[in-house]
Structure 1
Amino acid sequence: MCDELNGDPAIRCAILTGDGSAFSAGGDIHAMRSKEGMFAGSGMALREAYRNNVHGIVRALYALDMPLIAAVNGPAVGLGCDIVCLADIRIAAATATFSVPFLKLGLLPGDGGAWLLPRAIGMSRAAELFFTGDSIDAETAALWGLVSRVVPLGRLTAEAERLAQKIASMPPHALRIAKSLMRAGQSASFDTLLEMSATTQALAHYSADHKEGIEALIDRRPPTFIGA
């Protein structure tokens, strides 16, 4: 699915939300206890299951070219919380909660959460959540920077769609490049990012969308970007 999204230039923004009362309840603890499903087999088999299944999910979401909005409608537990961190913009319903209770089960964040969560909320707060297994509510998540806003549950979908439509009105090529620059900025040196910025900016100056943006501003009208 993510490959299809990346391959369609008409798609300028994506929304990820839960189906039901939870955003994601995390791993199936009953399957863990009975060593069934993904948790069946030897330790090496389970390692490969994580690499091929869980890691496949997080890698695919991380590799999305277009902006991704997480609309967190309820509990985001374990892998669910770490998936929230993969989104570029995260909004929550007032009913949302967030937790990474791996240690309570004698487990570790096997989904990349030890990399994702500290980047979303800082090392100290991420350590507090990982080391205690505590849950935080939506308002605390907003205070900590895990989500950018909290809205009533009944408005969550409309708010996510309103935000997606606003993002989708931007020039599609520049939008995806802006995301890639922000992503690179998390690990690249400042000098490297400046070089990347100069190159991509120079190309953008020769785009039809740049010309349209200038003309629309002068004409005092909304621009229409076509991805050219």
Structure 2
Amino acid sequence: MIKNLNLIDSKLSITNRIAILTFCRNDIRNALTGSYLIDDIINTINYVNKNSNISVLIITGEGKAFSSGGNIKEMLKKNSSFSGPVEEVEKKYRNGIQKIPINMEKIEIPTIAAINGPAIGAGFDLACMCDFRIMSNKAYLAENFINLGIIPGDGGAYFLQRLIGYQKAAELTLTGRQVSADEALNLGLILKKVEADQLLKEATKLATDIAKKPKNTIRYTKRLLKMGSKLPLSEFLDFCALFQGISHNHKDHKNAIKKIKVKK
């Protein structure tokens, strides 16, 4: 167990500044509801944000699925996160599944979804919240809320269209159909399709390429990348100037310059 981190349905390993969060609820296909996975994700984000020795987070699933999203058995129960009058269900969503996108937007380090199996509904949306997606050739994606008579209550409609554009996001959301690894690659939904037994190796390879860079610079660059799609150019450039001022005065920059001089 990692000190000061309490995970119930997941496990976290840390090696060479790379953290791997693995969902361990194969019995429910790593469903985010009806489990403690939401809390585990949030606790992990808080932990890595405070730990400067972690520079990349990989998220993956144990067993056959990455995540099946909402637990359908929970939806059938009378007393669950999906039951009650409108006001009660709204509150449950805000205090439950919607904590994932709120916190994923706050994470300070790059994230990689290593999609080992089906990523469905909120599971697919979680993958879309990550910076990179690497997918097993045996996995598939599905924004299948409409097949259950519900909408993407976790914010999926926000993230998906930012990855592949409105029209294609609308088609996937309004049909709820499955997307293979090949199609996902063609759409630009994923960075790479790999053999199932090579998934973590490829994800770790990318994570290693990033993690060996100056750790302070990684965090500032991640923040700028997230800001770039939200701020007007003039305001964005103000933050660039501020972060660059900090970077020029940080030991990471000075050490990097020294290494370049040594190589020459």
Query: TM-score of the superposition, structure 2-length normalised?
Result: 0.80
Is 1:119 matched up with 2:166? no
More helix by share: 1
Structure 1 CA distance for aligned equivalents of residues 195 and 250 of structure 2: 40
1:138 to 178, 181, 198: 181
Cα deviation for residue 145 of structure 1 reads 1.1
Superposed, which structure 2 residues align to 1:1-228 within 5 Å? 1=43, 2-220=45-263
| CA deviation vs aligned residue, 1:113-137 (integer Å, no higher than 9, x gap) | 1111101111111011011111110
SS in structure 2 at match of 1:136: strand
Query: Which residue is equivalent to 2:6?
Result: none
Matched to 1:60, the amino acid is N
Cα deviation for residue 4 of structure 1 reads 1.3
Structure 1 CA distance for aligned equivalents of residues 177 and 79 of structure 2: 27
Where structure 2 has 5 or more consecutive residues not aligned to the other structure, the ranges are: 1-42
Cα deviation for residue 36 of structure 1 reads 3.8
SS in structure 2 at match of 1:140: helix
| CA deviation vs aligned residue, 1:68-97 (integer Å, no higher than 9, x gap) | 111011111000111011111111111121
Cα deviation for residue 30 of structure 1 reads 2.6
SS in structure 2 at match of 1:215: helix
| CA deviation vs aligned residue, 1:22-72 (integer Å, no higher than 9, x gap) | 111121223213334212322221111111110112222221101111101
SS in structure 2 at match of 1:85: helix
Cα deviation for residue 111 of structure 1 reads 0.3
Considering only aligned residues, what root-mean-square deviation do their CA atoms show, in Å? Answer: 1.3
- Higher relative CO (Cα under 8 Å, sequence separation at least 6) belongs to 1
Matched to 1:67, the amino acid is P
Query: Which residue is equivalent to 1:226?
Result: none
SS in structure 1 at match of 2:236: helix
SS in structure 2 at match of 1:54: coil
Structure 2 CA distance for aligned equivalents of residues 36 and 127 of structure 1: 32
Range with bigger deviation, 31-40 or 83-92 = 31-40
Identity %: 36
Cα deviation for residue 148 of structure 1 reads 0.5
Query: TM-score of the superposition, structure 1-length normalised?
Result: 0.93
Aligned residues: 221
Where structure 1 has 5 or more consecutive residues not aligned to the other structure, the ranges are: 222-228
